[in-house]
C-alpha cells in the first residue's frame, strides 16, 4: 500500500502540531445519530493521531477539545462531553504511560466540574515524568481568555513591585501564557471544512502554517495527518522576509 508517510521528510518535522478537532456533531447527524455519538467516535481519532505523532517523533501535540464558548452548548451535550473526557482519561492513562507520553492541560480549569478536575490532575501527576510526546489538551480554553489572564497577572506583578513596565518584553508575555515552555506550533490543522481559528492559540499561531481539510474529525486518521505534514513541508515559511533571503 502506498502511504503518504514515505513522502515525509523526517528531518524536517514540525516540532509542534496544533489541531482544532471539529465536525463531530455533523458527522453524527449525517448518520442520523445524536451529536454525542460523534464525540464518542472522535475519541478513536484522538487515539490514532496521538499514536501517529508519537511514532513520527513530533514533540508537542495540542488538541482543542473544548472552548470557553462551548460551555454555552445545550446542557446535555456539555455534561456528555465532560463524562466522555473523564472516562477517556481514566481509560487511557496507562497507555499514555506505556508510550512515554506526558499530558498537559491548558485552559480555565476553574470552570470544570470538581470530578473532572480531580481526574485530570491525577493524570497530569501520573504522566509527569514521561519524556516522549507532550500531549497538550486545550480544555475550557480560548485565546482571549488566556491573553486576558496573562495581562491581569502581569499587571499584578507590576503592582506588587516585582516587575517593571520597562522590563516587559515578548519573553515576559510568553511566560504568562498557558503555553509557557512550549514552542509555538508550526502547523495548525482544522478538520470539517471550517476556515476559522475560533479563539484557538491566538498569540501562538502568529506564524503557523494553517491546513484545512473537509474531513470530519471522527474520520481523521494518521494518513490524513501525514498529508497535512507533507503539505506543510512543501511551503516556504518566510517570517516577513523575501523568498531570496529565506533560500540563501
Ligand atoms: C468538535 O465538534 C468538538 C467540540 C467542539 C467539542 P463539534 O461538536 O463542533 O461538531 P460540529 O462542528 O457541530 O459538526
Ligand atoms: C472549536 O470548534 C472548538 C473545538 C474544536 C473544541 P467549534 O465548533 O466550537 O467552533 P465554531 O463555533 O464552529 O467556530
Ligand atoms: Mg464545530
Q: Specify whether the CB–CB gap between 161 and 184 falls below 8 A.
A: no
* Overall CATH class of domain 12-142+184-234: alpha beta
Whether 198 is in the pocket of ligand 2, judged by its Cβ within 6 Å, is yes
Active-site choice (34, 48, 70, 219): 70
Q: Which of 21, 38, 76 to probe ligand 1 with, by most ligand atoms within 8 A of CB? A: 38
Integer Cα distance of 201 and 210 in angstroms: 12
Query: What predicted TM-score, i.e. pTM, was given to this entire model?
Result: 0.98
Whether the CA torsion 186, 189, 195, 201 is positive or negative: it is negative
Residue ranges per structural domain of the chain: 12-142+184-234
Q: Per residue in 84-109, pLDDT tens?
A: 999 999 999 999 999 999 999 999 99
Q: Which of 21, 22, 43, 139 to probe ligand 1 with, by most ligand atoms within 8 A of CB? A: 22
Q: Per residue in 21-62, pLDDT tens?
A: 999 999 999 999 999 999 999 999 999 999 999 999 999 999
Q: Whose CA is nearest to atom 14 of ligand 2?
A: 198
Q: Whose CA is nearest to atom 13 of ligand 1?
A: 25
Is 22 an active-site residue? yes
Residue 171, classed as helix, strand or coil, is: helix
Amino acid at each position: 500500500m502506498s502511504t503518504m508517510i514515505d513522502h515525509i521528510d523526517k528531518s524536517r518535522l514540525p516540532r509542534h502540531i496544533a489541531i482544532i478537532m471539529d465536525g463531530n456533531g455533523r458527522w453524527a447527524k449525517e448518520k442520523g445519530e445524536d451529536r454525542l455519538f460523534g464525540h464518542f467516535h472522535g475519541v478513536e481519532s484522538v487515539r490514532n493521531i496521538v499514536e501517529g505523532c508519537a511514532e513520527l517523533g513530533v514533540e508537542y501535540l495540542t488538541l482543542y477539545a473544548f472552548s470557553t464558548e462551548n460551555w454555552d452548548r445545550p446542557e446535555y451535550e456539555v455534561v456528555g462531553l465532560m463524562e466522555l473526557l473523564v472516562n477517556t482519561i481514566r481509560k487511557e492513562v496507562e497507555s499514555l504511560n506505556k508510550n512515554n507520553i506526558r499530558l498537559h492541560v491548558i485552559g480555565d480549569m476553574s470552570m470544570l466540574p470538581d470530578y473532572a478536575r480531580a481526574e485530570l490532575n491525577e493524570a497530569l501527576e501520573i504522566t509527569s515524568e514521561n519524556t516522549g510526546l507532550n500531549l497538550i489538551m486545550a480544555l475550557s480554553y480560548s485565546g482571549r481568555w488566556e491573553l486576558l489572564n496573562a495581562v491581569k497577572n502581569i499587571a499584578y506583578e507590576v503592582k506588587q513591585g516585582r516587575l517593571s513596565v520597562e522590563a516587559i518584553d515578548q519573553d515576559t508575555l510568553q511566560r504568562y501564557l498557558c503555553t509557557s515552555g512550549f514552542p509555538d506550533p508550526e502547523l495548525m490543522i482544522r478538520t470539517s471544512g471550517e476556515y476559522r481559528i475560533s479563539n484557538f492559540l491566538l498569540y501562538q499561531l502568529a506564524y503557523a502554517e494553517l491546513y484545512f481539510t473537509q474531513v470530519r474529525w471522527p474520520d481523521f486518521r494518521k494518513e490524513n495527518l501525514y498529508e497535512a505534514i507533507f503539505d506543510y513541508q512543501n511551503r516556504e515559511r518566510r517570517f516577513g522576509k523575501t523568498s531570496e533571503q529565506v533560500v540563501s
